Amino acid sequence: MIVATPGDAALPLASEGGVRGAVRRPHRLGPRLANLGRHLAGSVAVVLTVITITFLVTRVFAPNPTALFLSPAGNGFVSAAAAAVEKTKVEASLGLGKPLVVQYYRFIDQLVHANLGNSFESGRPVTSELLQRLPATAELAVYALVLGVSLGIVVGVIAAVKRDGIVDHLARLFTVAGLSLPQFWLGLMLLWLFFTKLGIAPGPVGRLPIGVSPPPRITGFYVVDGVLGGDWSTALDAAKQLVLPVVTLGVGLATPICKIVRSSMVEALNSDYVRTAAAMGFGRRRIYLVYALKNGLLPVVTVLAGIIGYTFAGSILVEGIFGWPGVGNYAFEAIQNSDFPAIQGFVLYAAILYVVIYELLDFVYTLIDPRIRI
Amino acid sequence: MSTVPVFARHRARLVANGEDLSAKAPWPLSLKIGVGVVGLFAVVAVVSSFWTPYPPMQPATGAFLAPPSWAHPFGTDAVGADIFSRAFAATHTDVGITVAVVALALFTGTVWGSLVGFYGGWADALTMRVLQTVQAFPALLLAMLVISALGRAVLDVILVVALIPLPDYVRLARAEIMTKKNWQFAEAARMIGRRPAGVLFRHLVPNSMRPLLANAGINASWVVATVGGLGFLGLGIQPGSAEWGSMIAGGESDIVSGVWWPCFFPGLAIFLLAYAFHLIGDALTDADINRRR
């Protein structure tokens, strides 16, 4: 009865009267393009909203906007006159004296030119620092996603098929545990156990052990580059560094997926078409793994949007704990140093990333689920 | 779907606190455990506001970084403060923030959602547009930006964190009211001359609280972990104060030298409280689903 999956942002719930009795329209290009246009307008609206909130918070609501963009002036060793000069400079660059509309226009103009300002800590443009750190985040994200998604799906399916069995109960215990475990704490405890206590994992020093130089850059992924360049020992070192962060992040990703796969699989297994298939004498394996699984996996696509966004925006806490030199760690350090331009740049980057991923997955959804038209 | 109740079984206040649930069916084990653990934390929160074994902020109560012992059950931290006392005192902060956040989101979301669900019209359409837009936000990241810009006070944390789950509450309340507003108990209330606002807030809302409370349980679990994470980052709670997340941050640098206790116990507290809230939320969700069948 429910056509739209609850939780999908773009679709009204069946109970909201949107989809009930929806009439199938024939495939025509015109309406689809119009819908696509509406969709794109929606995402532009989201990006604009994030930008506007950022603007308002930093320029209007903040008690002292200048202070946010004024780098801490050398612990009071700078003369008052020099500090005042610096302050007027910042005020001028922000255009604080000008009307709000003009300030807003300048803010957007700078963003369009990919200018996120300079970091206090390094003095370098935030944009280039973020780009430079992207490969590290991407490497961690890809492995963590592979681990998290596959673990979540496998456990979720087994739990649903063997409902109320031991596996199901254990899976339930673990999903609730995984959802309530603070990820940074899990990371620290794994670090203590496997690095400090057992000494089998490397320390939290980033992508490579200290003193090992990265392989020549081909993809930006150290393990892949190491293998491609034939430098096996570097590849192995890089892989070892990855294990703990990937596990920490992967467990966090697996639990929501597991929960959703289980419930949608249970629903699929209880549905009429599965009973019919069983009555027609199809084998269990075929029913579970082909017919039920297809529908059971649909909601996963919806959750994936948030999860992919989360990993590629760089999990701030996990990267921070393992000293992983990605964008999340950049934000981690920026927050601890009150490096405001860097925080702002990171948030804008992440917001745009989220929107792009949401749009892409919404589109994928329409491809794999013919019942839904955007 | 087929049976439409003629009368609501309850008058206003009886339903809202989940009493009916206990009267009809025995509590499942998970609910008992969840409520028990949350209750324990609540007691600790109250007790800790006037008694802890040592003053929570007092340094040098024992050796620095002393491992757990009878004198210091959770050990001492880098300045020699008693971790047990600090974790105890932190319960006050963390439970307080969590309750404030959830109560705020639940109340605002319920009122907002039920109003637009009941009256419909342009406010409803606008709400749905806004919710759709907000859904695609990396809300937590934006929250971090706002907190770090606004000055990192506890009140900022409560307000900003409460905004993040608000759309869920609004959606839930709206959907519940929309499906129930034409049921016969609502009709009957109109018949006896209740004004629309009376029908909504004295009959419809109290009878729509179940899914909202179930959501509140799961949401509370998220809030506990999130507040801990923000504290770990030094956002919202002054670094060094008695809060679980910032206590973990304080012990982070010592973990590579084998000192696990400053991180372990506060994190365990976050985990247990979040787990308990989640169990309550899950149990309430199950009960709600069973009732609908």
Q: Answer left, alpha or beta for residue B176, where phi above 0 means left and psi between -120 and 50 means alpha.
A: alpha
Domain that holds residue B244: 46-59+68-292
Q: Are A116 and A329 in contact (CB under 8 A)?
A: no
Q: Output the pLDDT for position B9.
A: 54
Domains of chain A: 128-368 (1.10.3720.10)
Cross-chain CB nearest to B137 (options A10, A13, A351): A351
Q: Do B258 and A196 touch (CB under 8 A)?
A: yes
Number of independent structural domains in chain B: 1
CA-to-CA distance for A365 and A28, rounded, in angstroms? 18
* Each residue's pLDDT tens digit, A231-255: 888 888 888 899 999 999 999 899 9
Q: Which residues, including other chains, have CB under 8 Å from residue B100's CB and lie 6 or more apart?
A: B158, B162
Position B13 confidence tier, pLDDT thresholds 50, 70, 90 = very low
**Assigned token pair, A154:** 């496998």
Q: Do A9 and B135 touch (CB under 8 A)?
A: yes
In a domain, B28, yes or no: no
In a domain, B247, yes or no: yes
Any A CB within 8 A of B247 CB? no
In a domain, B279, yes or no: yes
Q: A349-362 burial, b if ≥16 CB within 10 A, otherwise e?
A: bbbbbbbebbbebb
**Assigned token pair, A316:** 């701030």
In a domain, B11, yes or no: no
**pTM, to two decimals:** 0.83
Position A9 confidence tier, pLDDT thresholds 50, 70, 90 = very low
H/E element holding A121? Answer: none
* Each residue's pLDDT tens digit, A28-47: 666 667 767 777 787 788 78
In a domain, B189, yes or no: yes
Nearest CA in chain A to B143: A347
In a domain, B10, yes or no: no
In a domain, B137, yes or no: yes
Q: Burial of B40 by CB count in 10 Å (0-12 exposed, 13-18 middle, 19+ buried)? A: middle
CA-to-CA distance for B276 and B75, rounded, in angstroms? 25
- B179: domain CATH number is 1.10.3720.10
Pick the closest to residue B16 from B178, B213, B239, B154 (CA basis). B213
Q: Do A46 and B136 touch (CB under 8 A)?
A: yes
**Assigned token pair, A207:** 């992508």
In a domain, B145, yes or no: yes
Q: Are A357 and A305 in contact (CB under 8 A)?
A: yes
pLDDT greater than 60 at residue A75: no
* Each residue's pLDDT tens digit, B73-120: 888 887 778 888 888 889 988 999 999 999 999 999 999 999 999 998
Q: Do A343 and B145 touch (CB under 8 A)?
A: yes
Interface test with B, best of A68, A188, A193 (most B CBs within 10 A): A188
Q: Which residues, including other chains, have CB under 8 Å from residue A150's CB and lie 6 or more apart?
A: none
Mean pLDDT for B288-293 is 76
From the CB of residue B191, how many other CB atoms can be counted at a distance below 10 Å?
9
- ipTM for the complex shown: 0.82
